A and B are shown apart, each in its own frame.
Chain A
Amino acid sequence: AQSVTQPDIHITVSEGASLELRCNYSYGATPYLFWYVQSPGQGLQLLLKYFSGDTLVQGIKGFEAEFKRSQSSFNLRKPSVHWSDAAEYFCAVGTMEYGNKLVFGAGTILRVKS
């Protein structure tokens, strides 16, 4: 069965500092990986996705993520965090199988201090 682990419940970074949010997945086949962001009271917005090909993927708002098969990881990074990045971030794994569904991690809450 698929599963996603986000080890950090909360992370606090200073504005302008770099950011890395960790994500580990468990899935027997080639995973399809996603990062979503959720602001308070809002739905989920897709930041980036990995389906195949280049293991370093670029997303919106200056985010990138790197797929490492050997480590079963898909960590999200941003070189310089802005106060508006404060939100909750979810990593998810999906499949292209019948009944395509996303399995989400528990999320990481990012706080940005000025």
Chain B
Amino acid sequence: ETGVTQSPTHLIKTRGQQVTLRCSSQSGHNTVSWYQQALGQGPQFIFQYYREEENGRGNFPPRFSGLQFPNYSSELNVNALELDDSALYLCASSRVAGENNEQYFGPGTRLTVT
């Protein structure tokens, strides 16, 4: 069983640029969630996608957007990057059914905005 993978591992961008982060869900999972983890903090929920539709969103501005594809891989796009967007971005996949709804996390993408 393949786990959750993310790419790239590290990324450096300049303020004002746009970035795309990618996530491949664990086999059999149709839900993906994205989290932002700033240095020294716990992860914060950005949004979730279920069957290619946004299924809940945290307190993040519209310049954070996402996509989920038919194969359940996912992208997180951030436009007009700000210095405060520097963080570890985690994606997590899960099944949406019953009690077995734990989320499996990928290793993350470390984004640095200069």
A-to-B contact residues, CB < 8 Å:
4, 32, 34, 36, 42-46, 49, 51-52, 90, 92, 94, 96, 98-107
Contact = CB atoms under 8 A, between A and B. Distances in A.
B11 to A, nearest CB: 15
Interface residues of B, number: 28
A94 B56 CA distance: 13
23 contacts: A34-B102, A36-B105, A42-B107, A42-B108, A43-B90, A43-B107, A44-B43, A51-B99, A52-B99, A92-B42, A96-B101, A98-B55, A99-B48, A100-B48, A100-B94, A101-B33, A102-B33, A102-B35, A102-B45, A102-B103, A106-B40, A106-B42, A107-B42
A42 B88 CA distance: 10
Contacts of B103: 94, 102
Contact of A99 (B35, B56, B107): B56
Contact of B43 (A32, A90, A98): A90
Interface in B40-72: 40-45, 48, 55-58
A74 to B, nearest CB: 15
Contacts of B92: 44, 102
A107 B41 contact: yes
Interface string B2-13: 001000000000
Interface string B86-114: 00001010101001011111111000000
